[in-house]
């Protein structure tokens, strides 16, 4: 039967429609279908039937896609596109665009996915290919959902529903398309805060004839119901649906759907603080995703594990997964750039080749700058890196980055001209800055002449950065773009010039790419500072941790050993602090500890180092200080604590005393540990009488 239909292609390639029907009807028989597709490709190449060959590559692309062989799928869809393009077949080329839209979406290459979707839609509009148009619109909608642009996805859904009135085109959905479309609507409703509406849509979809024939759809339905119940706070029902989806995916060997379900299930576990289960699910995802290249899912799993370990204060593991998250981000970006370059083969004219050559150079430079940005944790260095390189890409006189603090509604600006950096804090209380507009509205700004165009964004003339006020009058062309991560504004980036009408979309796109890298760097700076803070400072007292104070002590000891510098160590113990915990509980005990530490910190000098050595013990290092001065500091601490009243609430007030042991480093100390031990011996003597200082 299939061979007979193949032979008809020699008479007319219009008979490809029969071949397409046979392949589509046989889609559940994977092995036989693959044989048929391979035979179609072989027959088409033997007989130089290019249109049929294009369809062969299109179908083999879907086979690879269904088996999670994404790079093979992308390559096959691209060959299909090129063959249709050579034939100038604009009607059918839209299907190849649709294939590329799907595969790049699953690979997390959302920019590429959107580009191919829009390209396919333009072909559909030109040739009035309404069937392909509908498929592309639905898939573009799915892409926006993956990017978490739910408002844009909703716009497409509303556009599809009203398209008959808008364009006068009659669209008729197949059963399969209708189910997919309804599930897309359900996922949007879940994410815009209407889970009840989503559940109704899913129930309607489950009643559609033929839904039971598509395993991946049933799996998706269970998962979406779980997500909806998660939003409504019905965690037990969510667990049941996620388990159903998981078991169904295992039974039907749906690897991608299994990982997708486990990812949503892990979010439930994190929300209910079942971290052990969440870690188990996320670890499974990483194993499966790494071998199948499910990069978007794997990236989210890395970030979730980072969040869990950060919350559990397991710093080393948190950093490990943060680095893996950043690495996969880089890999996904690098792949996207390489695929953009592959488009050069679509047109062989010298003009286009030269354009892509320049694009490649620009892409390579942007990638290089990006890697340097991400690898740095110093904002001053980051702005210098960008300023140093950006002039190779666009004309810029002034360049700036702002780091936004949403709690204070202000930004720290790092503004640069030539090699001069100005630091300035700008509050957004009044609507008189372009940066404030950019951040508040999450919008790009392009201005060709500031004096004439600022009123598009502000009611009054914009305030300029302090330090550049005199030069503010010279600024004419301006672009701003917000730095956004997970829909949260973390800052902005701006390029400005004294020349008029200098910037357009190309320059803005360059700035946006750099802003994406810098947004990651800004978050890295914050995260590393938080993690470093956890590792360096005790969260309760804000004193150095034991590890950190001993590290500093070792350094001071080594320096003193070779330079004959003095230093003295004071061991401090809170007398009978256990009574506070036993009497009032650990919550009030922690508050008392925090207040005592705050009082103690006011008694020490800027040159001293203090750390929490144990539960209620502290280690104070008085650098470049002899025993006499150190005894004075110790006595000041003792007297201040003794005379203080620590108010834990309106009814609970406690007093406290301290015992202190003081030892000055001498030639008998062979290590910093020896110095501490001898100070500890003095403390032991002090504790015999309590509320005293011993040397």
Highest-confidence segment of 338-352, 452-466, 475-489, 520-534: 475-489
Which has more confidence, 607 or 533?
A: 607
Among the listed residues 96, 406, 66, 511, the one whose alpha carbon sits nearest the alpha carbon of residue 252? 66
pLDDT tens sequence across 407-433: 888 888 888 877 778 888 888 876 678
- pLDDT, one tens digit per residue, over 137-194 is 888 788 778 777 777 778 777 777 655 443 444 446 667 777 888 888 888 888 888 8
CATH of domain 380-530: 3.30.450.40
- The Cα–Cα gap between 18 and 196 comes to 43
Q: How far is CA 245 from the centre of its chain?
A: 27
Cα separation, 67 vs 27, whole angstroms? 13
Question: How far is Cα of residue 33 from the mean position of the Cα atoms in its chain?
Answer: 40
Q: Alpha helix locations (H) across 544-666?
A: 546-563, 577-584, 586-601, 627-643
Q: Which of 211-215, 286-290, 410-414 has the lowest mean pLDDT?
A: 211-215
pLDDT of the residue at 37: 87
- Answer whether 48's CB lies under 8 Å from 38's CB: no
- Residue 345 has what pLDDT? 40
Map tokens 């001069």 to a residue. Answer: 420
* Distance from C-alpha of 586 to C-alpha of 474, rounded to nearest angstrom: 62
Q: What is the pLDDT, as a whole number, of residue 371?
A: 52
Q: What's the whole-number mean pLDDT along residues 574-597?
A: 91
Distance CA 495, CA 505 (A): 13
pLDDT in tens, 81-101: 999 998 999 999 999 999 998
pLDDT surpasses 90 at 316? no
More confident residue, 200 or 332: 200
Smallest CA-to-CA distance from 289 within 260, 309, 317 is with 260
pLDDT band at 384 (very low <50, low <70, confident <90, very high): confident
Question: According to the model, what pLDDT value does residue 264 have?
Answer: 93
SS in 3 state form for 77-122? HHHHHHHHHHCCCCCCHHHHHHHHHHHHHHCCCHHHHHHHHHHHHH
236: which residues sit within 8 A by CB, 6+ positions away?
none
Q: What angle do CA 79, 82, 84 make, to 5 degrees?
A: 110
What is the distance between the alpha carbons of residues 285 and 295, in angstroms, rounded to a whole number? 10
Residues 584, 71: Cα–Cα separation, whole Å: 63
Q: What's the confidence (pLDDT) of residue 468?
A: 57
Mean pLDDT is lowest, of 148-162, 215-229, 336-350, 675-689, for: 336-350
Q: Where are the alpha helices (DSSP H) in 442-545?
A: 450-453, 469-472, 505-536
Q: Taking 60 as the threshold, does the pLDDT of residue 663 lie above it?
A: yes
Q: Where are the domains of the chain?
A: 380-530, 546-694
29: confidence class by pLDDT, cuts 50, 70, 90 = low
pLDDT tens by residue, 40-89: 889 889 888 899 899 999 989 988 888 878 889 989 999 999 999 989 99
pLDDT reported for residue 374: 46
Say which range, 42-46, 262-266, 523-527, 567-571, has the weakest mean pLDDT. 523-527
- For residue 573, the surrounding DSSP H or E stretch is strand 567-574
Q: Would you say 184 and 145 are in contact if contact means Cβ atoms under 8 Å apart? A: yes
What is the signed CA dihedral for 12, 17, 19, 24, rounded to 10 degrees? 170
Instruction: Please state which of the four CATH numbers 3.30.70.270, 3.40.50.720, 3.40.50.620, 3.30.360.10 is assigned to the domain occupying 546-694.
Output: 3.30.70.270
Mean pLDDT over 26-32 rounds to 66
**Is 68 in a helix, a strand, or coil?**
coil
pLDDT band at 108 (very low <50, low <70, confident <90, very high): confident
Q: Shortest CA distance to 370 belongs to which of 332, 319, 423?
A: 332
Mean pLDDT, the chain, integer: 82
Label residue 219 by pLDDT band (50, 70, 90). confident
Look at residue 565 in the predicted model and tell me its pLDDT: 87
What does the block give as tokens for 293? 């290249």
Least confident stretch, 18-22, 138-142, 428-432, 539-543: 428-432
Cα 280 from Cα 270, distance rounded (Å): 12
């Amino acid at each position: 039967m299939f061979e007979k239909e193949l032979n008809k292609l020699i008479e007319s390639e219009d008979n490809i429609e029969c071949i397409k029907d046979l392949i589509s009807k046989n889609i559940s028989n994977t092995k036989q279908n693959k044989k048929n597709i391979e035979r179609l490709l072989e027959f088409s190449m033997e007989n130089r039937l290019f249109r049929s060959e294009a369809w062969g590559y299109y179908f083999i692309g879907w086979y690879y896609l269904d088996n999670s062989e994404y790079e093979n799928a992308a390559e096959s869809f691209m060959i299909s596109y090129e063959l249709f393009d050579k034939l100038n077949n604009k009607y059918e080329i839209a299907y190849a665009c649709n294939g590329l839209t799907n595969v790049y979406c699953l690979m997390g290459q959302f920019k590429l996915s959107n580009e191919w979707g829009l390209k396919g839609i333009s072909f559909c509009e030109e040739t009035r290919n309404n069937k392909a148009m509908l498929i592309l619109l639905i898939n573009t909608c799915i892409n926006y959902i993956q990017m978490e642009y739910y408002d844009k996805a909703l716009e497409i859904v509303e556009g599809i529903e009203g398209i008959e009135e808008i364009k006068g085109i009659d669209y008729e959905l197949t059963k399969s398309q209708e189910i997919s479309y309804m599930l897309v609507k359900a996922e949007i409703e879940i994410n815009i805060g209407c889970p009840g509406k989503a559940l109704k849509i899913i129930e309607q979809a489950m009643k559609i004839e033929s839904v039971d024939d598509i395993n991946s759809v049933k799996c998706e339905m269970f998962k979406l119901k779980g997500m909806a119940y998660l939003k409504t706070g019905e965690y037990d029902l969510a667990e049941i649906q996620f388990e159903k989806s998981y078991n169904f995916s295992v039974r039907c060997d749906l690897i991608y759907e299994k990982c997708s379900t486990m990812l949503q299930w892990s979010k439930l576990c994190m929300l209910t603080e079942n971290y052990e289960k969440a870690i188990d699910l996320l670890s499974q995802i990483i194993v499966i995703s790494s071998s199948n290249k499910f990069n978007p899912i794997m990236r989210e799993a890395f970030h979730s594990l980072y969040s869990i370990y950060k919350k559990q204060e397991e710093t080393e593991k948190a950093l490990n997964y943060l680095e893996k998250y950043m690495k996969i981000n880089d890999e996904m970006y690098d792949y996207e750039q390489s695929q953009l370059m592959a488009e050069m083969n679509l047109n062989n004219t010298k003009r286009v080749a030269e354009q892509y050559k320049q694009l490649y150079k620009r892409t390579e430079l942007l990638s290089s700058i990006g890697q340097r940005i991400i690898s740095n944790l110093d904002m001053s260095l980051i702005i210098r890196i960008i300023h140093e390189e950006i002039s190779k890409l666009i004309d810029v006189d002034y360049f700036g980055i702002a780091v936004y603090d949403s709690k204070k509604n202000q930004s720290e600006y790092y503004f640069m001209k030539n090699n001069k950096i100005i630091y300035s804090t700008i509050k957004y209380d009044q609507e008189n800055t372009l940066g404030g507009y950019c951040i508040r509205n999450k919008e790009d700004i392009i201005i060709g002449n500031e004096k004439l165009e600022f009123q598009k964004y502000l009611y009054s003339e914009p305030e300029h950065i302090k330090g550049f006020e005199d030069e503010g009058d010279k600024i004419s062309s301006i672009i701003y773009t917000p730095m956004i991560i997970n829909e949260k504004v973390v800052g902005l980036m701006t390029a400005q010039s004294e020349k008029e009408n200098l910037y357009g979309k190309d320059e803005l796109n360059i700035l946006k790419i750099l802003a994406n890298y810098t947004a990651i760097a800004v978050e890295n700076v914050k995260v590393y500072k938080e993690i470093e803070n956890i590792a360096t400072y005790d969260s309760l007292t804000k004193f150095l941790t034991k590890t950190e104070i001993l590290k500093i002590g070792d350094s001071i000891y080594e320096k003193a050993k070779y330079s004959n510098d003095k230093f003295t160590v004071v061991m401090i113990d809170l007398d009978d602090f256990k009574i506070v915990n036993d009497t009032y509980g650990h919550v009030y005990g922690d508050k008392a500890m925090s207040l005592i530490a705050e009082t103690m910190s006011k008694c020490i000098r800027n040159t001293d180092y203090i750390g929490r050595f144990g539960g209620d013990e502290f280690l104070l290092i008085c650098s470049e200080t002899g025993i006499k001065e150190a005894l004075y500091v110790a006595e000041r601490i003792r007297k201040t604590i003794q005379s203080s009243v620590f108010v834990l609430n309106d009814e609970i007030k406690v007093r406290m005393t301290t015992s202190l042991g003081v030892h000055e480093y001498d030639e008998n100390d062979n290590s910093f540990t020896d110095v501490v031990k001898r100070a500890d011996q003095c403390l032991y003597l002090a504790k015999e009488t309590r509320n005293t200082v011993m040397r």
